[in-house]
Structure 1
């Protein structure tokens, strides 16, 4: 018994000793875990410029992972969700051309004559390209929050005006006006998301915002079908009510968005930070600096932006988005007409337009989450292009409706998911606000040229098969795979040179490309 008692006493002493050791080492272990979190911002290509900065180190260590998630949720609701909803509403206005066409606009405005339908579909892109060059100057003098909400109001007013025109020339004028508004709104939304998050958080956010936006493509047909039932009210056809009601709703939503949306991360105004405490604000700025060293907005000038345009990879990113837009834009405008050409009524065509875009939105979110988790970009771009290559033959060269509809879903999944993927690909491989603004402008050039190409190759006179547009989509998807492969090879080679100390990437020794 005595031996057992001594053994029990020794075990108790060991237990007390272990607890004291744990208590004494807990702060050190916690500091080590915080340091590990800080180094995580710099892993696989991120820039840890604040390493050794005691102020930034203490801020990053002061916030627990649970608190960090809470802060990100606040930002998500006030940035990603708000921008996604507004993007969705304005995209409904922009993409209602196909729905309005089968609701009577083609007949009333005689759009089936020559190339009128295609011209109306593409005329906004040249104006988009020209006026987006003024965006850096606009950002310098106007806050992004004001630009986003103001352009939303104008978007709604011009859409409402489309419902009041009595000739195709009037419609053409309003489409030009929409192009000038798009030139500021969509690039500002993309830029705004990139500056609030670290590099390996952006594709999830792009994908969520894009998923919300793509719900417009899916449900715009259902909405249009409901608004068509107002035909005869006030003596107007159904397509007019589609434009009028959607325009009014966009104006109201833009005013609400202006109230909810936050400002810049480095802003000092009351509205910028009233949703975060001062401690949370310091943490947000510290984590952005630890990731890429551009939390503070440097002076933006047209001269600096012009200098940034000499970087060849900016044009490579634009080419990726151009090739993706050839397919996505053509389908956005002409899918209701393609489905209608399969022999379905107007109402059924509007309803069948929804599921492919809903599936595409879910695919965007899944691939965005996986891409950020695995910190990969180019494999997903290629995968989405391959989905398009597989879906186009099913759509254009098979007879059963099930096979053709499956092809539509695959093409929508691939082409739509590549938009946020290409934006994240660009964002991850650039530094500084000036360069990101310049790159967004270049990306929009790619989108616009892709939209023009898509509208030209999907021609009204090729209905109901639209074979020229389908051939062009297949070629664009193949070229996208080749281009992404070439850019990936270059990025890998440059990263190896940077590891050997032979190259400084993006002006910082710790920066590495993501591919």
Structure 2
């Protein structure tokens, strides 16, 4: 993961062209200074610096993301462990409503994210939201009506509006453009382990049924919530903030020389190591960029698929005739396969500097897997379809995040883009919850049809955006277009 790639940051000719332009107002250091800083660091030192960053950014954030996602994704596990019956969630649309209610709150509160990051810094936001996630999950284990669980899911949606986008932004600011997908993929691999491990953990915790007079689903929420609180407090002590920060916390894990190298390599890659100002006017202008809405649409389609699977996979397995315990255990292997596939495609995508083709490849896996899940007769073949669908939909999350990150510049636009992307995530999440309806159990055919259509539309959207990027790059090569405010910036497709 930490091996260096042959990127443009190591090419002096490329760097001199990058910094020849006087139009780029974000350049923080002169061409000659950046060249000398990059050249004074040996390849062995570069690997060592990247390993340090990987542990303090990618791995640590991935672990905390994993733990909080266990809380967020335990709805399906808790449901088959008795919550559905105890809270009467099987009446009407209650199950779907509980699954989707968090997304409108994501949508409302994510608009304040750029200002929250500017005010509190990523380290505080990531760890604080983790603590809140844990407390809210614990509270879910104490409710006695479906209205209570609905209220807690609303609050979880508010917290999620700050955590997930901040994590994505945090990883992008520490790495160059052709290093981010493998880092997203490693973090997401850890996250996928949570999705699989959550079933195993829930299977163990549900056997606490009867302890203190409480059903097993309550213990699932209480124990997982407590663990998240403790882990988030530890994360607060270990996380760092911005690459250009000047505080002791930001840099005590790097020497001053290593610090200069980190800033220089980011500037050489895309000239945005230093934070620029965030204003409402700038954010509004960024939101008018059509490509951001194209990225948001891809996120929408993928979230509709992945959120439906993550919430309803335990119920789908239960409907295939497996017992509660076996359903919990069978929930794990598809996510493990998805995590490995994420890492493999992330490494290949960075190495080949391609984004769109891998999103299409993952969508094709969904198109193959979902019909097997829904219509094949042998249970083994249906389970294989589940694995394919999970691999495709889950791998498209880091792929689409890298696709977005590679094609925008500056801190302010990254934060504004997150706001736009969350619109797609929220709408997709609502779709995923609504199309897998309780009345369609146990086969959930309408939801599966929707997932196939979403996968096809994802392929089409990537094709349209690729055509636009190729055209714009050619115009920029002829000097007829400046992309992202920099004469030498080119789109990745």
Alignment TM class, shorter chain as reference = over 0.9
The answer to whether the 8 A contact 2:12-2:35 is kept is no
CA deviations 1:271-290 (Å, max 9, x no partner) are 00000000000000000000
What does residue 345 of structure 1 align with?
A: 323
Q: 1:163 to 1:413 in 2, by over 3 A?
A: same
What does residue 331 of structure 1 align with?
A: 309
> In 2, distance between residues paired with 1:348 and 1:40?
59
What does residue 61 of structure 1 align with?
A: 39
> Which consecutive unaligned segments of at least 5 residues does structure 1 have?
1-32
What does residue 263 of structure 2 align with?
A: 285
1:48 Cα deviation after fit: 8.4
Q: For the aligned residues, what is the CA RMSD?
A: 1.8
1:34 Cα deviation after fit: 12
> In 1, distance between residues paired with 2:265 and 2:317?
48
The answer to whether the 8 A contact 2:9-2:268 is kept is no
CA deviations 1:59-78 (Å, max 9, x no partner) are 00000111101000000000
> In 2, distance between residues paired with 1:54 and 1:42?
9
What does residue 23 of structure 1 align with?
A: none
CA deviations 1:368-421 (Å, max 9, x no partner) are 000000000000000000000000111101110111001000000000000100
The answer to whether the 8 A contact 1:46-1:512 is kept is no
Q: In the alignment, does 2:181 pair up with 1:208?
A: no
Q: 1:36 to 1:199 in 2, by over 3 A?
A: closer
> In 2, distance between residues paired with 1:297 and 1:274?
20
The answer to whether the 8 A contact 1:150-1:254 is kept is yes
> In 1, distance between residues paired with 2:462 and 2:37?
38
What does residue 453 of structure 2 align with?
A: 475
Q: 1:408 to 1:39 in 2, by over 3 A?
A: farther
In the TM superposition, 1:138-149 aligns within 5 A as 138-149=116-127
> In 2, distance between residues paired with 1:174 and 1:289?
43
In the TM superposition, 1:194-205 aligns within 5 A as 194-205=172-183
> In 1, distance between residues paired with 2:399 and 2:439?
33
In the TM superposition, 1:392-403 aligns within 5 A as 392-403=370-381
CA deviations 1:118-147 (Å, max 9, x no partner) are 000000000011101000111121111001
What does residue 463 of structure 1 align with?
A: 441
The answer to whether the 8 A contact 2:209-2:219 is kept is yes
> In 2, distance between residues paired with 1:229 and 1:105?
14
CA deviations 1:402-445 (Å, max 9, x no partner) are 11001000000000000100000000000011110011111111
What does residue 189 of structure 1 align with?
A: 167
Q: In the alignment, does 2:54 pair up with 1:81?
A: no
The answer to whether the 8 A contact 2:171-2:184 is kept is yes
> In 2, distance between residues paired with 1:426 and 1:406?
30
User: Bigger shift: 501-510 or 46-55?
Assistant: 46-55
> In 1, distance between residues paired with 2:340 and 2:459?
23
1:302 Cα deviation after fit: 2.3
> In 1, distance between residues paired with 2:288 and 2:15?
27
What does residue 11 of structure 2 align with?
A: 38
> In 2, distance between residues paired with 1:266 and 1:202?
18
In the TM superposition, 1:202-351 aligns within 5 A as 202-351=180-329
What does residue 21 of structure 1 align with?
A: none
What does residue 353 of structure 2 align with?
A: 375
| Bigger Rg over Cα | 1
The answer to whether the 8 A contact 1:364-1:413 is kept is yes
Q: Secondary structure at the match of 1:465?
A: coil
